[in-house]
Amino acid sequence: MDKKIFTVAIIGVGARGANAYGWQINDATDRFDIVALCDIRPERLDMFGKKFNVPEDARFTDENEFFKEKRADLLLIATQDKDHVRHCLKAFELGYDIMTEKPLTDKREECEALLAAQKKYGGKVLVCHVLRYAPLFLKAEEMIENGRIGKLVAINAIERVQFAHQSHSYVRGNWRNTNSSAPMILAKCCHDLDLLQWYAKSKCKSISSVGDLVYFKPENAPEGAAERCLDCQYERTCPYSAWFSYIHRFHYENQPQDTWPLNVLVNAPVTEEKLYEALKTGPYGRCVFHCDNNVVDHQFTQMTFENGVKASLLMTAFTQAGGRRITFHGTQGEIVLEEQSDSVVLKRFDDETETFNIAALEESGYGHGGGDIFIVRKLYEMLTGKSDVATTLEASVESHLMGICAEESRLKGGELVYIHK
């Protein structure tokens, strides 16, 4: 029997919608067919419309036009944080199955509205908590599940955002200000919160959190610093300089030139001339001490799960390299998961230490340790009903509630907040 081919519409044809998932969906011609696109940026619509072979009359710049009717079996929602809930609700009403980017929302009542809409209209939902599909994170889960460290007692997680990633995304970029994006604990850490509840195998009972924006503020600018890096006397000495982050990276760091973060500043093909122009006039050329940012640069969060497992999470901008490190403490041993080396180390109390080098075992060297690839494969299984997905709307709402309550706690100076009041 021929394989069923699902038609796909994409709203938000940006880094995630086009580059992370769109290309894979487009290449999987035996499973998917992209038939409609919507993006407010006509140049992206035109570029990916041509690349994905979507007819001009099925490319929309106006979401109201796009949502006038159901245009495919599946809607991939990869717009910005504040759009997801609106787009999901419209998609439910039209009867789409949905693959949606995170965070879903930073409001409890909107979490409830999403669950109610799914109950009413019944669409399948896959939320893009991609790490749950990455071999590295699955390996740790398998060990815990198989009792390799006995009974899990505590988890200590650190999310090393990395200084240049912070300045790009959370100081100059799209996730810098809670007026237009979710707070850091959701925008960046909703993956971590989702992983923690998955590993704990329990709902979170209570949470407390402290964190601040301490560094990327005008009072920390070096004396005489200019508003824009290209005009600044510290252009070649400040580690956060836009010149280092983009021009130097373009020339000297063996960075494939059409990839993140350079392709966020300018459309491919990336050239030095286009980058200089973007730095002269656009948001990414601004001094990190003179931006309109308000999201935190470090945050500590503590959690107690209903089954008694405890967890702590540190998010920090101030690291030389990025990547998560999660240590699991059980009654019979420890597991250390290290994203940077793509390895999981099992330290049983009664045995030799074992190291699992995931990159050597699996096809994991892609976005999010392979998560971006494996989630698209999982999507097909969800649509055909062959298997359930782990990152359901219900599971995702639980971790969003953790983030919402953590932010509430942070704003109250670290007060303990119960998730289900």
Ligand X SMILES: NC(=O)c1ccc[n+]([C@@H]2O[C@H](COP(=O)([O-])OP(=O)(O)OC[C@H]3O[C@@H](n4cnc5c(N)ncnc54)[C@H](O)[C@@H]3O)[C@@H](O)[C@H]2O)c1
Nearest to 81 by CA among 112, 105, 110: 105
User: Measured from the CB of residue 20, what is the shortest distance to ligand X in angstroms?
Assistant: 7
Residues 359-388 that bind ligand X (CB under 6 A): 368
**Single residue of 9, 36, 38, 275 touching ligand X by CB under 6 A:** 38
User: Measured from the CB of residue 132, what is the shortest distance to ligand X in angstroms?
Assistant: 11
Token reading at 230: 């290209």
Strand partners, 67: none
Of the pair 238, 382, the CB lying nearest ligand X is at 382
Q: Does 81 bind ligand X (CB under 6 A)?
A: yes
Token reading at 1: 């029997």
User: Measured from the CB of residue 76, what is the shortest distance to ligand X in angstroms?
Assistant: 11
**Single residue of 8, 9, 10, 11 touching ligand X by CB under 6 A:** 11
**Single residue of 31, 44, 139, 324 touching ligand X by CB under 6 A:** 44
Could you give phi then psi for residue 157, rounded to 5 degrees?
-115, 145
Q: Does 101 bind ligand X (CB under 6 A)?
A: yes
Separation between Cα atoms, residue 247 and residue 398, nearest integer Å: 41
Of the pair 235, 366, the CB lying nearest ligand X is at 366
Q: Tokens 């055909």: give the residue.
A: 384
Nearest to 106 by CA among 44, 166, 167, 189: 189
**Euclidean distance between the first and the last CA atom of the chain, given in angstroms as a whole number:** 51
Of the pair 139, 168, the CB lying nearest ligand X is at 168
**Single residue of 8, 10, 13, 117 touching ligand X by CB under 6 A:** 13
Strand partners, 127: 100
Q: Does 399 bind ligand X (CB under 6 A)?
A: no
Separation between Cα atoms, residue 233 and residue 346, nearest integer Å: 49
Separation between Cα atoms, residue 339 and residue 133, nearest integer Å: 14
DSSP symbols for 8-30? EEEE--SIIIIIIIIHHHHH-TT
Separation between Cα atoms, residue 415 and residue 208, nearest integer Å: 6
**Single residue of 4, 41, 280, 377 touching ligand X by CB under 6 A:** 41
Q: Does 12 bind ligand X (CB under 6 A)?
A: yes
Residues 154-193 that bind ligand X (CB under 6 A): 174, 187
**Single residue of 6, 9, 14, 24 touching ligand X by CB under 6 A:** 14
**Single residue of 5, 7, 15, 347 touching ligand X by CB under 6 A:** 15
Token reading at 264: 């966020």
Residue 195's identity, in one-letter code, is L
Q: Does 40 bind ligand X (CB under 6 A)?
A: yes
Number of residues that bind ligand X (CB under 6 A): 25
Q: Does 83 bind ligand X (CB under 6 A)?
A: yes
User: Measured from the CB of residue 322, what is the shortest distance to ligand X in angstroms?
Assistant: 13
Q: Are 55 and 33 in contact (CB under 8 A)?
A: no
Interface residues toward ligand X, by CB under 6 A: 11-17, 38-41, 44, 63, 78-81, 83, 101-102, 128, 130, 174, 187, 368
